[in-house]
Amino acid sequence: MQLTLIRHLPTEWNKRTWLQGRRDIDISEITAEVNKEIADNQLLLEKLSPFTHVLASSLKRTHQTAKLYDYKCEIENLLDELDFGVFEGVPKADMILEFGERWTESPKEIVLGESIQNLEKRIELFLEKYRKSSNILAFGHGSWIRAAISYNQYGHVNNMNKILIGNNECITVTF
């Protein structure tokens, strides 16, 4: 399966480095720079299409992003962002300070509003559900995408927080 992942466009909380998790935040006003990034990504997507599925999480920031890319998506709850619990609406640095090295070295030990172990299980369920699909485009979130890349490269999600994925970044992986 080829899976092309696009992290949602920036939000005001992204700009402030606040964790969003399951909070249903709107994307920010689109700048000329973001419009150029979208156009560049659309050229890449044209080369990768057609897609057997175009998916987005249940959170509106992914749907708003897909709409700006001119895609209509199926909702896939397995793509939802990690639930950060009490850390949603808090600067990411505060959470990292709380968990220290465990955040980068062994995140599967961490339980927030959802455990990282459960995030890994959702990725496994996603891969099983779509295993017969040849080419998927998914609009998603930073933690989910980083965890999926770690799972693809290492067979687990424990390296997810060593991977950087920017807003509106487009990445293709093969499972």
CATH code, domain carrying 138: 3.40.50.1240
Look at residues 120, 94, 92, 93 and name the one whose alpha carbon lies nearest to residue 106: 120
Look at residues 147, 138, 159 and name the one whose alpha carbon lies nearest to residue 56: 138
Check residue 40 and give its pLDDT: 97
Query: Could you tell me what percent of the chain has a pLDDT over 70?
Result: 100
How many Cα atoms are found within 13 Å in the side-chain-facing hemisphere of 61? 28
pLDDT band at 52 (very low <50, low <70, confident <90, very high): very high
Check residue 156 and give its pLDDT: 97
Enclosing domain of residue 106? 2-174
**Mean pLDDT score, 26-40:** 96
Is residue 85 within 8 A of residue 68, CB to CB? The reply is: no
**Mean pLDDT score, 29-33:** 95
Check residue 169 and give its pLDDT: 97
Mean of the per-residue pLDDT values of the chain? 97
Task: Tell me the whole-structure pTM to 2 decimals.
Answer: 0.96
How many Cα atoms are found within 13 Å in the side-chain-facing hemisphere of 117? 4
How many Cα atoms are found within 13 Å in the side-chain-facing hemisphere of 56? 19
For residue 85, the 8-state DSSP code is G
Number of domains within the chain: 1
**Mean pLDDT score, 82-88:** 98
pLDDT band at 71 (very low <50, low <70, confident <90, very high): very high
Check residue 99 and give its pLDDT: 97
Check residue 164 and give its pLDDT: 96
DSSP bridge pairs for 140: 7
pLDDT band at 152 (very low <50, low <70, confident <90, very high): very high
pLDDT band at 158 (very low <50, low <70, confident <90, very high): very high
Length of the chain: 175
